[in-house]
Amino acid sequence: MRREHLLANGKRLILLEGDITRVPVDAIANAANSALVGGGGVDGAIHRAGGPAIMAELDRMRAAVAPLAAGQAVATSAGNLPARFVFHAVGPIWHGGGRGEAEALASCYRVCLDLAEQKGLRSISLPSISTGIYAYPIDAAAQIAIGQILDFLDRRAISVAEVWMVLFGASAFTAYEAALKTATAR
């Protein structure tokens, strides 16, 4: 499934059900863990598809940056991925919503989008951060992600023209599609 939303300024948000490691963009955001050691889900898929060069870069920077706080990200090259960079963003673990999870999740998206802008990139793909093993409720996460992306594309993006929200499974796609409909109906 795919849905495209064109903003008045010509920027595009594309929702895609698929494999984030196969979408050709300038940067791919990764749902990383705070230790930056690789894991399962999106993180595992990105490391498998990107090859050992990504982990080698993380190994070299780990002592200086890890543990990385929720809401923060670091950049590496993309190895064998169809991208130039991977932005490793640490999402919050869901504890019921009273421990700053919403702000940390919003920060993940802002930081990745800002990194793309700082590097003068044209396109970025983002996964649904924290909604797997970190158990963030998908509907709430979708509203945060879509809100951050639309705000960025509408107000702050200069070089970034396309943001791809690449979602694993029909239920994730449906949640993000509903969040987009709600956000653009205002």
Q: Annotated catalytic sites, by residue?
A: 43
Cβ neighbours for 106, distance < 8 A, ≥ 6 positions apart: 71, 144, 147, 148
Residue labelled with tokens 């670091």: 74
Q: Nearest CA to 116 among 70, 68, 47, 164? A: 164
Residue 8 main-chain phi, psi, to 5 deg: -60, -30
Q: How far is the CA of 47 from the CAs of 8, 42, 52, 112, 127, in angstroms?
A: 36, 9, 7, 18, 14
175-178 CB contacts, 8 Å cutoff, 24+ apart: 175/138, 175/139, 175/141, 175/142, 176/15, 176/128, 176/142, 176/145, 176/146, 177/3, 177/15, 178/139, 178/142
**CA nearest neighbour of 26 among 77, 60, 90:** 77
